[in-house]
Structure 1
Amino acid sequence: MVDMQSKGIACRIKKCAYELLSIGGDLMDDAYSWDLKGRDIRLKSMFLFCDLSQLISNVPKDQKKALTEVGNKLFSSIEELDHAVKIRSIPLTQDRYNEAGVILQELMVLMP
């Protein structure tokens, strides 16, 4: 049962990562789109955080450290992305989005 649960968690993480990666490039300069992007990023990162925490607690001990380190980098990066969206800076948002994308890809490589 635990293996099936871990597979479900991994599937949700991959789906959420894909959705976060697809948010990226189409920023418009109106208040509604900025607010919508910010809410979407915060919602997806919350689900990602919950699932990643559960996955880390279920993986073998030798995988925990690497996943935890990448997870910490990812959530730090997402916080910076959220801040960039809140201040509505297109260059900063693109930079932080690209950084988060690289870390999400690192996470996908480490996933069991």
Structure 2
Amino acid sequence: MAQTMASMTGLSQGVRLPGPTGRRASRFTVRASSAEAEAAGRRAVLGLMASGVVGSAFAQVVHAGTVAAIKVGPPPPLSGGLPGTDNSDEARDFNLKPLIDKKQWPYVMNDLRLRASYLRYDLKTVISSKTTKEEKKDLKDLTGKLFATLDGLDHAAKIKSPTEAEKYYGETKTVLGDVLAKLG
């Protein structure tokens, strides 16, 4: 233990350390090469820094009870009406029909695929919560039909066919209504 304390303080020469009380004092000699002495010096400095950090963190914990409560105010004012933020505070209903009419096919495909993935996950969750096997089977059949029409709509957007897109959009809307009626 005495050797460890001596090496932590970075001493590389003979050091006289007091022994336990009531006994004769002994002499310990700690010898180290220059690399070991340098490492011991670094260790000592790092140890002192670590103890300082721990001590200050402990002091902050002790004094934490004196901190005043945080006051929460009202929500910020709506930002709608500023240039470029006309509808920033309102929920938006992204309908694919205007995108199909404008023939913006990449937007149609990306939006459709994103929403279909969320819808698939949500429908699986709702179907798994149903109790009877009959309800689960009916809903699985309807969702299978729904995703078949969504795939048709995606294919129509991929080949950039407005007539097929209109057809599959109508079918998807009908089947989605059936699914929601069955869930309701």
- Give every structure 1 segment of 4 or more consecutive aligned residues whose post-TM-superposition deviation is greater than 4 Å: none
The aligned amino acid for 2:127 is: I
Residue by residue, what CA displacement relative to the aligned partner does 1:12-61 show, whole Å, maximum 9, x if unpaired?
xxxxxxx57x32254223xxx21011100000000000111111111111
Question: As a proportion of its length, which structure holds more strand?
Answer: 2
The residue aligned with 2:140 is 68
The residue aligned with 2:96 is 23
Query: Normalising by structure 2, what TM-score?
Result: 0.46
- Contact 2:127–2:140 at 8 Å: present in 1 too? yes
5+ long unaligned stretches in structure 2: 1-92
Counterpart check, 1:103 vs 2:103: no
The aligned amino acid for 2:178 is: E
The residue aligned with 1:46 is 117
2:160 is paired with a residue whose SS is coil
State the identity as a percent: 28
- Contact 1:84–1:92 at 8 Å: present in 2 too? yes
Counterpart check, 1:57 vs 2:128: yes
Distance in 1, Cα, partners of 2:175 & 2:98: 17
- Contact 1:25–1:94 at 8 Å: present in 2 too? no
Let me know the Cα RMSD of the aligned residues.
Answer: 1.5
The aligned amino acid for 1:42 is: R
Query: Normalising by structure 1, what TM-score?
Result: 0.74
Rg: which structure is higher? 2
The structure whose RCO (Cα within 8 Å, separation 6+) is larger is 1
Equivalenced residue count is 90
